[in-house]
Amino acid sequence: MGYWTPVHDSHSPIQSFNMRTKIIAGNWKMNGDREDALSLATEIMGIVADEYMGESEIILFPPFVHIQGVARLVENTRIKVGAQDCSAHKQGAYTGEVAASMLKSVGANYVLIGHSERRSYFNESSADLSAKIHQALDAGLKVIYCVGETLAQRQSGDHFEIIQSQLSECLYHFSADLMCHVVIAYEPVWAIGTGATATTDQAQEMHSFIRKSISNHFGADVAETIRILYGGSCNENNAQSLFSMADIDGGLIGGASLKSRSFVNILKCS
């Protein structure tokens, strides 16, 4: 499958990609104790205040136990806070689970759902992820929904079909109105934590495919306003070229988000 290349003219809504506010999100994963989390957030907050004059939305995703502390620290700044996951259940006897409403109550604005590590390590199904998205939206959280293919799936040529199924099974039963609360993150699994990165052409091709799929189901207006992030080993060296692509609206940053200087340098590329 080749690129989806939209026609640019004075009446085409595709020009709105310049108006989509980019997102730079830092996924801290399971790293750092309370002191580490507050120190990192403080450093990022200080550097952003001193050096960043851009418009991109900044979101930090600390571990569950640090959300409230980080949220209080960055309160009244431009930095938002999110959770790395939420329960598929609203409440009840689910030991160890954290409900979306609980996350909202301690300062979370966003939640990551469907990250490749959750799919792989915890065998989360499309039904699980769909239920989580429902709970998150119902609680008033915005969702960053992750999609991506493995190396084997890409090498076999099935990567477009995999992404299409991940989109359709988890998002396409929601209304178009709810999609304004959803961000999509494309994370090629083969490029997460490996040092490998999709080329700008590979990333743009998949982002364009995702936008076309959204357009086919929800319409052009939704497709041209939804933000699609790249999430595969994005770093200071490749961020500029990735973020310059028409359909890439920022990044879901992993390892580089654990270093304040690296994270803000990536932010500056947006």
Residues 6+ apart with CB under 8 A from 14: 6, 7, 8, 224, 246
Structure tokens at 64: 């569950």
* Alpha-carbon gap, residue 97 to 215, rounded angstroms: 35
Is-catalytic flag, 11? no
Query: Does residue 187 have an active-site annotation?
Result: yes
| Nearest in space to 149 (alpha carbons), one of 198, 200, 199, 89 | 198
Dihedral sign (CA 200, 202, 205, 211): negative
Could you say which of 57, 66, 115, 124 is catalytic?
115
Q: From the candidates 187, 205, 207, 224, which is the catalytic residue? A: 187
Nearest to residue 34, comparing CAs of 3, 2, 62, 55?
62
Quick one: tokens of 73? Answer: 């620290």
Beta strand residue intervals within the chain, DSSP E: 23-27, 57-61, 79-83, 110-113, 142-147, 182-186, 228-230, 250-253
Q: How far apart are CA 166 and CA 150, in angstroms?
A: 13
Active site amino acids: 115, 187
